[in-house]
Chains A and B, each alone.
Chain A
Amino acid sequence: MMNKFALSLVSNRISPSIIGFRPFSISNTYFQSAPFKSKTNDQSCVAEEKNEKVLRVEDSLKDLSSVKWRTEFNGKRLWPHDQWPERDLVNYPPYKLREAPNPVRWYCVPESWFKFFYEKTGVTGPYMFFYGLLVYGFSKEYIVLWYDFTEYLILAAAVITVVKKLGPSISDAFRGWHQDEVGRYNSVVNNSKAMAGKMLHSYEESLERAKSIGALAEARKDIINMGLETSYRERMKQLYESVKRRLDYQVALQNARKDFERTNMINWITSEVKKSITDKQEKDTLQSCINQLRQIASQQRSLNS
């Protein structure tokens, strides 16, 4: 039934798929205007549609086959409730897969019954009802205590303990197997996504490395320039030292010359003077010095006293 409804939304005729238009009708097989005759081969499994006329609710929607509904506008997909303003989304919301089954007590009594009786009887209402039924059955002998009653009691106890102990583990095992199967399909997509992400990351890395190649070249240029500078400075230093050495030599040469001249002159002069000093001159100078000293001493004595 739903398949038919879904089929009706797909075009049954040759239509250009350039524009986002589709010929729409509730049930395409029921409303066909001039049937399109293409060159069909009898041996193919492609057959022509037969005009089946059936009276349905869509009697009022007779001429929908000529109506064209847009499937997309401005690049965005249009949904039926966009085009059907009378769609009641409040009272008839769209189908959603449920997460969990209805809650249940004692594994067979639904919770909605408990909620319904809560106002009238409180929390213990349904419990009292079912236990009361049991007691009523025993007392009025609707449940006859015959030899097989113990069997049923033990069976109930055994089933309840087994379900309570092994139930969760078995359900986990089944869900795990189911999840593995689902994961086998999902992992394909997830792995391709991960690989795509990794490849993108590597491409981004290589792009960054491409940016850093310029810096490397600059670094190499800097190193070479620094070496050139070093050698230049070394050579300048050598130049300076050699020039200074030559100049110092000239200076030292002149100084030595002057020194030699001076010492030679001094020595010659002193030696000549010493030679020219006679004995008489010596005695005279000595006497004059002693006289001076006496004068000074007498002056000193007069000053002190």
Chain B
Amino acid sequence: MGENWYSKSNETIIPGNPDRIKAKWDPLQYLNLAQYLKVFNEYPRAFNPRVHGPYCPWRYYGKRDLHLGDVKLAEIPAWIARRDKTPMGVYQGGIRTFWKFYRAYLDNKKPNLIWYTQIFVVASLINFVFFAMPDRKQYKWAKYH
């Protein structure tokens, strides 16, 4: 090691300095899978910490566009055309959706089980629409409605 490891004036060699500790907390970190996931592990192109501050994954940092509720029915195709439909854009949108859900129901001081109920309801709806309804068509009481 360098100078006295117990030196109080030289802050870089004080034991416990996180910048100089390279031992990892979790053994899985030694696999270093982040090098293969670099594409997914980057900030968006439009993020500038000098303007936006610390990164919030639930936020869209591009140019502001209309909310879906404020868009007129005639302008919906144009509105959809403005979206970023590349795989990277879709991936980032999905990540943002998840973080919005997290922030809405889990990132607070008084959480409850609404997030669980919503996932349950959506899953049961998917099951009903795509699996149960085709099954039940055999057991219909009438042929024409």
Chain A residues near B (Cβ < 8 Å): 1-2, 5, 7, 10-15, 17, 26, 38-41, 44-47, 54, 56-57, 80-81, 84, 86-89, 91-92, 94-95, 97-102, 104, 107-108, 110, 116, 139-146, 171, 175
A92 touching B52 by the CB < 8 A rule?
Answer: yes
Q: Which residue of B lies closest to A10 (CB)?
A: B19
B139 touching A12 by the CB < 8 A rule?
Answer: no
Main DSSP-derived SS at the A contact region = loop
Answer whether A99 and B108 are a contact pair too, CB < 8 Å, given A7-B19, A12-B19, A142-B133. Answer: yes
A144 touching B117 by the CB < 8 A rule?
Answer: no
A144→B112 CA distance, assembly (Å): 33
Q: Is B28 an interface residue (CB 8 A)?
A: no
A38 touching B56 by the CB < 8 A rule?
Answer: no
Please give the distance in Å from A267's CB to the nearest CB on chain B. Answer: 124
Please give the distance in Å from B50's CB to the nearest CB on chain A. Answer: 5
7 A-B residue pairs with CB within 8 Å: A40-B1, A56-B43, A57-B47, A97-B107, A101-B114, A102-B105, A108-B117
A110→B139 CA distance, assembly (Å): 34
A95 touching B145 by the CB < 8 A rule?
Answer: no
Please give the distance in Å from A6's CB to the nearest CB on chain B. Answer: 8
Given contacts A88-B51, A146-B136, 9 further A-B pairs with CB under 8 A are: A2-B54, A5-B49, A7-B18, A10-B18, A14-B11, A57-B48, A88-B52, A92-B52, A99-B108
A144 touching B108 by the CB < 8 A rule?
Answer: no
The residues of B that contact A12 with a CB separation of less than 8 Å are 19
Main DSSP-derived SS at the B contact region = loop
B109 touching A100 by the CB < 8 A rule?
Answer: yes
Answer whether A57 and B117 are a contact pair too, CB < 8 Å, given A92-B59, A95-B54. Answer: no
The residues of A that contact B54 with a CB separation of less than 8 Å are 2, 5, 94-95
Answer whether A108 and B121 are a contact pair too, CB < 8 Å, given A1-B43, A1-B55, A99-B110. Answer: yes
Please give the distance in Å from A172's CB to the nearest CB on chain B. Answer: 11
A108 touching B108 by the CB < 8 A rule?
Answer: no
Q: Which residue of B lies closest to A159 (CB)?
A: B117
Q: Which residue of A lies closest to B12 (CB)?
A: A14
Select A100's contact among B69, B110, B140, beta carbons within 8 Å: B110
Q: Is B62 an interface residue (CB 8 A)?
A: no
Answer whether A144 and B139 are a contact pair too, CB < 8 Å, given A101-B110, A108-B117. Answer: yes
Contact code string B57-70 (vs A, CB < 8 Å = 1, else 0): 10100001000010
Q: Is B45 an interface residue (CB 8 A)?
A: yes
Q: Is B29 an interface residue (CB 8 A)?
A: no
A47→B19 CA distance, assembly (Å): 10
Select A86's contact among B50, B57, B104, B109, beta carbons within 8 Å: B50
Please give the distance in Å from A15's CB to the nearest CB on chain B. Answer: 8
The residues of A that contact B20 with a CB separation of less than 8 Å are 46
Please give the distance in Å from B138's CB to the nearest CB on chain A. Answer: 9
The residues of B that contact A45 with a CB separation of less than 8 Å are 21-23
A146 touching B139 by the CB < 8 A rule?
Answer: yes
Q: Is B10 an interface residue (CB 8 A)?
A: yes
The residues of B that contact A99 with a CB separation of less than 8 Å are 108-110
The residues of A that contact B104 with a CB separation of less than 8 Å are 101-102, 110
Select A141's contact among B18, B50, B140, beta carbons within 8 Å: B140
Answer whether A141 and B142 are a contact pair too, CB < 8 Å, given A46-B21, A84-B50, A146-B136. Answer: yes
A17 touching B2 by the CB < 8 A rule?
Answer: no
Answer whether A5 and B55 are a contact pair too, CB < 8 Å, given A10-B19, A40-B1. Answer: yes
The residues of A that contact B43 with a CB separation of less than 8 Å are 1, 56-57
A11→B18 CA distance, assembly (Å): 11
Answer whether A39 and B111 are a contact pair too, CB < 8 Å, given A142-B133, A144-B139, A144-B140. Answer: no
Please give the distance in Å from A103's CB to the nearest CB on chain B. Answer: 9
The residues of B that contact A140 with a CB separation of less than 8 Å are 145
Among B3, B12, B55, which residue has the most Cβ atoms of chain A within 10 A?
Answer: B12
A45→B5 CA distance, assembly (Å): 13
Q: Is B87 an interface residue (CB 8 A)?
A: no
A146→B140 CA distance, assembly (Å): 9
Q: Is B30 an interface residue (CB 8 A)?
A: no
